[in-house]
């Protein structure tokens, strides 16, 4: 799918959908910004929407900087940051972020997302996981599979749109296969161009 069409495609998805967004590592920066544009501004900017962004690849402060460039209001986005502590990038915590010490605390991630869904009840709740590959660096594959099975089942039952970012390469093949059993659809960002 062309990066410019992602926002339209995501807007058409019903609540309770779980979608993997596969980014090409050779065009990662362009695809990443296109996905942020689609998730944070296009669907996250809807009047009844709230985005919970789980940052594993980049700190919340980095993603928040990009969100501000896209004119995303602070009251429309919350962060669950699981990477800043490890990167020692925790000196200026964001008011709209909650911080977890390690990406290995998968149960803590679920609890924080649950808390934020209750704190910000919106008809259009969106959870973004950035990214599967980064979580796989810190967690064994079997544990990650169990986490996503429980996490996605819970979010689907609550009518939450869940978007999982991942990069595609030979080494991620097992991750893609594991995730394909759990998501409703995989969108290949930039595929077919």
Token reading at 54: 């789980």
pTM of the model: 0.94
Q: Give the DSSP per-residue string, 74-97.
A: GGGEEEEESSHHHHT--SS--TTE
Peptide bond into 131 cis (omega under 30): yes
**3-class DSSP assignment, residue 42:** helix
CA nearest to 23, candidates 45, 43, 38, 13: 38
Top pLDDT among 114 and 2 is at 114
| 180-189 per-position pLDDT tens digit | 999 999 999 9
> Domain 21-188 belongs to what topology?
Rossmann fold (3.40.50)
Which whole number is the average pLDDT over 126-154? 96
């Amino acid at each position: 799918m062309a990066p410019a069409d992602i926002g339209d495609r995501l807007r058409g998805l019903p609540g309770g959908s779980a979608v993997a967004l596969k980014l090409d590592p050779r065009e990662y920066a362009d695809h990443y910004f296109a996905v942020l544009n689609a998730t944070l501004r296009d669907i996250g900017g809807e009047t009844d929407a709230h985005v919970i962004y789980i940052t594993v690849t980049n700190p919340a402060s980095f993603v928040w900087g990009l969100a501000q460039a896209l004119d995303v209001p602070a009251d429309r986005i919350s962060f669950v940051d699981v990477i800043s502590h490890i990167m020692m990038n925790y000196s200026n915590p964001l008011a709209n972020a909650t911080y977890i010490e390690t990406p290995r605390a998968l149960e803590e991630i679920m609890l924080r997302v649950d808390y934020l869904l209750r704190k910000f009840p919106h008809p259009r709740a969106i959870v973004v996981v950035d990214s599967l590959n980064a979580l796989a660096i810190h967690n064994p594959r079997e544990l990650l599979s169990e986490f996503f099975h429980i996490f996605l089942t819970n979010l689907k039952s609550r009518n939450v749109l869940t978007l999982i970012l991942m990069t595609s390469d030979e080494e991620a093949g097992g991750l893609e296969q594991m995730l394909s059993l759990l998501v409703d659809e995989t969108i290949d960002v930039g595929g077919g161009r």
